[in-house]
């Protein structure tokens, strides 16, 4: 994906590096030239020195071809202006970092897809939304050390027909990730999965996992068979 990130501070730069390492095309917009130079020297990520609420700067960063805009600056007003411009340019996904909850309604009105408050802002949370939009975080447990997520098994998924035990034995599936419930949408049945329980397409799987493990688990549960 082509992703434009506004703000090259701690959150923006960490997110940019993580996405860049996951083979996405990343451009960061940052008004502080020293931060621009630092990020480029550390990672080789393309950086545009300028104001993210400027239409010309956004165009220079490639906003017209962007799949995702992520606004991570400390200024809600700047993030809102940037989100409005991105929406007008037809960017499909817009993610913002929110410092002041009074901006929540405004962000929603302009069509922001995901809002992360300062309290719960985590790089893994934003990564999850950008790369795995079909995953839902249902509940946080253990002071944020783990979460309950739901993942829908796709049609033609590699896990279709496999048992819970077989899935847990797939190389790379996190050993600390636990499947706690399965909802069969077609039959409207919720079950507690045991080792011999088989998974079918469109089943909604509820699992407990750490923020670090959920991308691995969801990649396996959501993988499509090669044609």
Q: Cα(156)–Cα(125) distance, rounded to whole angstroms?
A: 27
Same domain, 150 and 217: yes
Q: Sheet of 136-141: strands edge to edge?
A: 136-141, 146-152, 204-209, 178-184, 189-191
Q: What is the CATH number of the domain that holds 155?
A: 3.30.70.1450
- Which pLDDT score is estimated for 120? 47
User: Residue 193's pLDDT band (boundaries 50, 70, 90)?
Assistant: confident
Same domain, 127 and 182: no
Instruction: Label each residue of 118-161 as H, E or C.
Output: CCCCCHHHHHHHHHCCCCEEEEEECCCCEEEEEEECCCCECCCC
pLDDT, greater one: 130 or 56: 56
DSSP state of 163: B
Q: What is the domain extent for residue 181?
A: 136-221
Question: For residue 10, how far is the Cα from the chain centroid?
Answer: 17
Same domain, 178 and 77: no
Question: Is 166 domain-assigned?
Answer: yes
Query: What is the domain count for the chain?
Result: 2
Same domain, 19 and 125: yes
Tokens in use for 118? 């300062």
Same domain, 119 and 37: yes
User: Residue 127's pLDDT band (boundaries 50, 70, 90)?
Assistant: low
- Which pLDDT score is estimated for 152? 86
Same domain, 167 and 95: no
SS3 state at 179: strand
Q: What is the CATH number of the domain that holds 85?
A: 3.40.50.720
User: Residue 121's pLDDT band (boundaries 50, 70, 90)?
Assistant: very low
Same domain, 71 and 148: no
């Amino acid at each position: 994906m082509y992703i434009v990130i506004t703000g090259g501070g701690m959150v923006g730069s960490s997110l940019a590096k993580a996405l860049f390492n996951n083979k996405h095309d990343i451009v960061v917009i940052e008004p502080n030239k020293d931060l621009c130079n630092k990020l480029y020297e550390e990672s080789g990520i393309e950086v545009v020195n300028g104001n993210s609420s400027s239409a010309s700067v956004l165009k220079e960063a490639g906003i017209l071809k962007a799949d995702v805009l992520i606004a991570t600056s400390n200024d809600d007003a700047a993030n809102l202006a940037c989100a409005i411009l991105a929406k007008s340019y037809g960017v499909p996904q817009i993610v913002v970092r929110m410092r002041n909850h009074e901006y929540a309604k405004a962000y929603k009105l302009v069509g922001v897809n995901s809002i992360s408050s300062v309290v719960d802002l985590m790089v893994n949370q934003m990564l999850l939304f950008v790369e795995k939009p079909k995953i839902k975080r249902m509940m946080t447990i253990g002071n944020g050390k783990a979460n309950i997520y739901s993942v829908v098994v796709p049609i033609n998924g590699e896990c279709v027909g496999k048992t819970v035990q077989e899935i847990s034995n797939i190389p790379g599936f996190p050993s600390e990730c636990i499947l706690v419930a399965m909802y069969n949408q077609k039959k409207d049945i919720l079950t507690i999965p045991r080792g011999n329980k088989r998974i079918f397409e469109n089943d909604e799987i509820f699992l407990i996992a750490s923020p670090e493990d959920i991308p691995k688990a969801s990649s396996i549960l959501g993988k499509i068979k090669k044609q």
